[in-house]
Structure 1
Amino acid sequence: MTSKIQKIKKIGGTSSANVYKAKYYIDNTTSKQVVVKSFRGQSESQELLLQAETWMTLRHDNILTPIGFTDGFGPFPSIVYDWMPGGTLASYLEQNSDSLSVLQKLCIASLIQQIAAGLCYLHDKNVIHGNLHGNNVLIDTNGVAYLADYEVTVAHRGQYIPPSVRWQAPERFDSQGVVAPTTKSDIYSLGAIMLQVFTGREPYFDVRSRSKVSIEILNGSKPSRPHDAHIADHHWLFIQTCWSVPEHRPSAAEVLHFAQSEADLLSA
């Protein structure tokens, strides 16, 4: 795809990659906006490119599938994705807080249903996301949610505390090294996303720094329930089951069933 990609500008980055907005020329008369993720480290690049190749085989309405690879954005090949005009889940919730309060619970239930459906599909395909958080769920122009990509070094390692720490399962915290993600740690993260969707706030909203969040997690503290944001008791109880010990957490299919039941009740 290299000859068909034109860089526009850098729009963000993580500890391991830079993210660019670009234009992809499908032919001489047709183009579309895309996102290019360029990796800084060789080992991370190789591992993530292999994961991207796996994701390119996936087909689901709530999975953001890479559309190809390109050179010219860094020292290693970069991954190309479709542009998501709605931005991240976090920015979407913030920008649409007024409309969401009017559309209210049906819109919220639909978002959770879409996110759970994407994760259920991944788990059915024996794919673990491993880095599910509010900035790795992207929204298209119609308000549909897509699970986006992943990182390699997402667990707590030494002094490095990733931005995704607020959504991470406690069993992934190990100062000796990175603890591999599981379907159960994905469910913990999904519960944290449900809290974010229901309340419009990130987990541990009352703890400002990531280092203090990591201390809270290591001390066994879970995200608190906002008292000034409406969240139904049965929603809060279900989220807490996602945060229970791994063997007692629901499956992605059970979370999807819960979200579908809520959407059906609200649309009846």
Structure 2
Amino acid sequence: MPLIHVILRVWQSLLRMNKKKDHVNAPYPMRNLTSKIQNAKLIGGTSSANVYKAVISTATTSKQVAVKSLRIEIFGNIVQSETQEILIRVNAWMTSLEHDNILTPIGFAYGFGPLPSIVYDWMPGGTLTSYLAQNSDSLTILKRFYLIKQIAAGLRHLHYKNVIHKNLHGNNVLIDAAGIAHLADYDVTPAHRGQHIPPSVRWAAQEFFDIQYVVPPTTQSDIYSFGSLSYQILTGREPYYEIRHKSKVSIEISKGNKPSRSYDPPIAERHWEFIQKCWSVPERRPTAAQLLELVSREVELLTT
């Protein structure tokens, strides 16, 4: 499950075990930012969470932040053994997953729902999808490959730490004020239960749509999604952009049909081959480390 779900499930269990409300007694260094948050405004949300834009103010500085509040109705009971497993995973995440291209919480806050909410640095560039739409005329091929390289670097770090993102798509990559990409809403739990078809099917790996087998998320399925993100960055369009309804996209994927090659704007032959490698059968897909090396060489080539 995405990181915010994991942390808040832990909090729910801790609160159920009568922990003090003003202190989260867990083995990770989350700061209580409640008293510092001002001017919070609801700016959006999903079926499972609300997102607020706010300001953190101290005696000397202030900065914008995002506050993500999970909706309580998605919670279920957690047995203590599972809670301890999640605590261990969250602690590992907090101490080892920090990276320039991974979005990590800066603290938590009360007052946005029945449970503590997670606070992140504000990403003024918005999602990758909106960023590409707003900056299509100014993004050169080199700038686009910088974005691809940053996403590859974040994904390599996740995989190095044995974390599978599981739902990598254009709205789970956020852009900061400097135009740097950050992976968000990744999964820090090892468990997999049942069929996994991500809600953003346009970027999802083809093997998830096999009706005969239940296929769990893998590092290889992340690589497929990375190829779809690369397609989106190079074309400025979401995969299967010509197909309006998600249900029809699912049908195309289940048939083995990949996104069509763009000629306006054009995708260079070597770039198209790179994307095709990501979309090949799982065992033939490159690793995130190999992708980062390949993309880094392309950036060097484009700068000479």
Band the TM-score falls in, shorter-chain normalisation? 0.7 to 0.9
1:42 aligns with 2:75: yes
- In the alignment, residue 240 of structure 1 is paired with which amino acid? Q
Aligned to 2:20: none
The alignment's C-alpha RMSD in Å is 2.8
- Structure 2 distance, partners of 1:213, 1:52, is 34
- 5+ residue gaps, structure 2, are 1-31
1:188 aligns with 2:188: no
1:114 aligns with 2:160: no
| SS state at 2:59 partner | coil
Distance change (3 Å), C-alpha of 1:112 and 1:237: same
- Structure 1 distance, partners of 2:94, 2:36, is 19
Among 203, 225, 229, the residue aligned to 1:167: 203
Q: Structure 2 matches for 1:64-143, cutoff 5 A? A: 64-100=103-139, 104-143=140-179
Aligned to 2:8: none
Deviations 1:62-99 (A, max 9, x none): 11111122222123222111001111111111111111
Cα shift at 1:53: 5.2
Among 251, 257, 261, the residue aligned to 1:215: 251
- In the alignment, residue 228 of structure 1 is paired with which amino acid? D
Deviations 1:31-58 (A, max 9, x none): 21111111112249999x8676554332
Distance change (3 Å), C-alpha of 1:115 and 1:16: same
Aligned residue-pair number? 260
Distance change (3 Å), C-alpha of 1:140 and 1:178: farther
- In the alignment, residue 9 of structure 1 is paired with which amino acid? K
TM-score (structure 2 length as normaliser): 0.77
1:16 aligns with 2:54: no
Cα shift at 1:12: 1.7
Distance change (3 Å), C-alpha of 1:90 and 1:52: farther
Among 38, 56, 72, the residue aligned to 2:94: 56
Cα shift at 1:231: 0.5
Aligned to 1:31: 62
Post-superposition, which runs of at least 4 consecutive aligned residues in structure 1 deviate over 6 A? Answer: 44-47, 154-158, 174-178
Q: Which has the larger radius of gyration?
A: 2
- Structure 2 distance, partners of 1:44, 1:86, is 37
